[in-house]
Amino acid sequence: MKNIAILSSGGDVSGMNPAIKEFVEYAFEKGLTPYFIYNGFEGLIDNKITKASHNDVAGIINRGGTILGSSRSKRFMDKSYREVAKKNLDALHIELLVVLGGDGSFRGMDIFYKEHGVKFCGIPSTIDNDINGTTYCLGVDTALNVIKESIDNIRDTASSFSRAFVIETMGRDCGYLALVSSLCSGAELCLIPEVKYDLRSYEESFKEQIKNGRKYFIVVVSEGIKDSSKDVAEWLEQKVGIEARVTVLGHTQRGGSPSIYDRLMAYKFINHAIDALLENINSSVICYTKNGFVYKNIDEVTSKKYMLDPELLSYIKKF
Ligand code: F6P
């Protein structure tokens, strides 16, 4: 019986727990012995590794976050700590690894594979949806639903008070969350790092809209834009002439019960990841593309920056 382990690395997402549950169940189904590594690569170094059982994953499918814990490990970038990690895996005869994380985690794993031959399959997991080569990353749908809920709530108060709201989403340098949320929540304006903008170009149209009876504006901005949300709110007050408030959604976007779509995607990602390792695909990321699930090598995934879908980009409102 081969031993296989799973860890979650980087920002947690809702969908990791359903993935961990399916990991245990599918591993047993395939005659493998499943192990948990706690706290990401930190736990690999610190030997926080235990055998997993069905009991460990009972009642977790509806929970956000990750029961394994996560980290952004600096130590794993250091060769000497990777040697410690390898020794820990060897002591338990673990040869196969499933990694829930982002491209940084996959790059680290690829180095580990090249140095020590530990076979792995990465599952793209980040609410930012910014991993090149996959159109979907685990956790995105749940995050979008959290954002949708928040914007719907804010719309209630915005319309009651005749105010503008600047709602800031996460996403680092990627505007995916903000763009999709703005389209699906009927926002008047969306600002993302991928699209150059000049606030002055909206002033006339916004003032005109107010004159014609518009009572409120919803502006969705991504955390990576050049201005702060406070600057955008100040612009609305000073140049457009409407009272404005800022809501930074922050880490609420990373929590919540995983959506149906994320539970299903978690299931599929895990099945493909374990299948890859059993088929001797040794160092890959399981990506979701318009042609379905495809294994991609690490260079393909990490060498290029993720680009927003041009069709999606074309929907952004221009005044
Ligand atoms: O990468 C996921 C993410 O949530 C980003 O959207 C955000 O910029 C960052 O992580 C926040 O990191 P932390 O949880 O370390 O504050």
Q: Is 170 in the pocket of ligand 1 (CB under 6 A)?
A: yes
The pLDDT tens digits of the residues spanning 122-172 come to 999 999 999 999 999 999 999 999 999 999 999 999 999 999 999 999 999
Confirm if 248 and 222 have CB atoms less than 8 A apart.
no
Q: Whose CA is nearest to atom 1 of ligand 1?
A: 11
| Ligand 1, atom nearest to 223 Cα | 8
Q: Please work out, in degrees rounded to the nearest 5, the angle formed at the alpha carbon of residue 136 by the alpha carbons of 132 and 141.
A: 140
Tokens representing residue 74 in the block: 């600096």
Pick from 88, 163, 131: nearest CA to 305 = 131
CA 92 / ligand 1 centre spacing (Å): 33
Tokens representing residue 12 in the block: 């947690």
Confirm if 319 and 201 have CB atoms less than 8 A apart.
yes
Task: Quote the CA–CA distance of 212 and 232 in Å, as a whole number.
Answer: 22
Pick from 70, 16, 17: nearest CA to 40 = 70
Task: Quote the CA–CA distance of 13 and 17 in Å, as a whole number.
Answer: 9
- The helix or strand, by DSSP H or E, that contains position 96, with its residue range, turns out to be strand 94-101
What is the reported pLDDT for 1? 84
Residue 275 designated active-site: no
Average pLDDT (220-237) is 98
Task: Quote the CA–CA distance of 244 and 234 in Å, as a whole number.
Answer: 7
CA 175 / ligand 1 centre spacing (Å): 13
Residue from 125, 140, 170, 177 whose mutation best tests the ligand 1 pocket (most atoms within 8 A of CB): 170
- The helix or strand, by DSSP H or E, that contains position 167, with its residue range, turns out to be strand 164-169
Q: CA torsion, points 110, 115, 119, 125, in degrees to nearest 10?
A: -30
For the chain, domains (ranges, CATH) are: 3-139+258-305 (3.40.50.450), 141-254 (3.40.50.460)
The answer to whether residue 76 scores a pLDDT higher than 90 is yes
Confirm if 166 and 247 have CB atoms less than 8 A apart.
yes
Residues of 208-232 as b/e, b for ≥16 C-beta within 10 angstroms? ebbeeeeebbbbbbbbbbeeebeeb
Task: Kindly indicate the confidence band of residue 319, based on its pLDDT and cuts at 50, 70 and 90.
Answer: low
The answer to whether residue 202 scores a pLDDT higher than 70 is yes
The answer to whether residue 262 scores a pLDDT higher than 80 is yes
Confirm if 11 and 126 have CB atoms less than 8 A apart.
yes
The pLDDT tens digits of the residues spanning 87-98 come to 999 999 999 999
Task: Quote the CA–CA distance of 183 and 8 in Å, as a whole number.
Answer: 31
What is the reported pLDDT for 296? 97
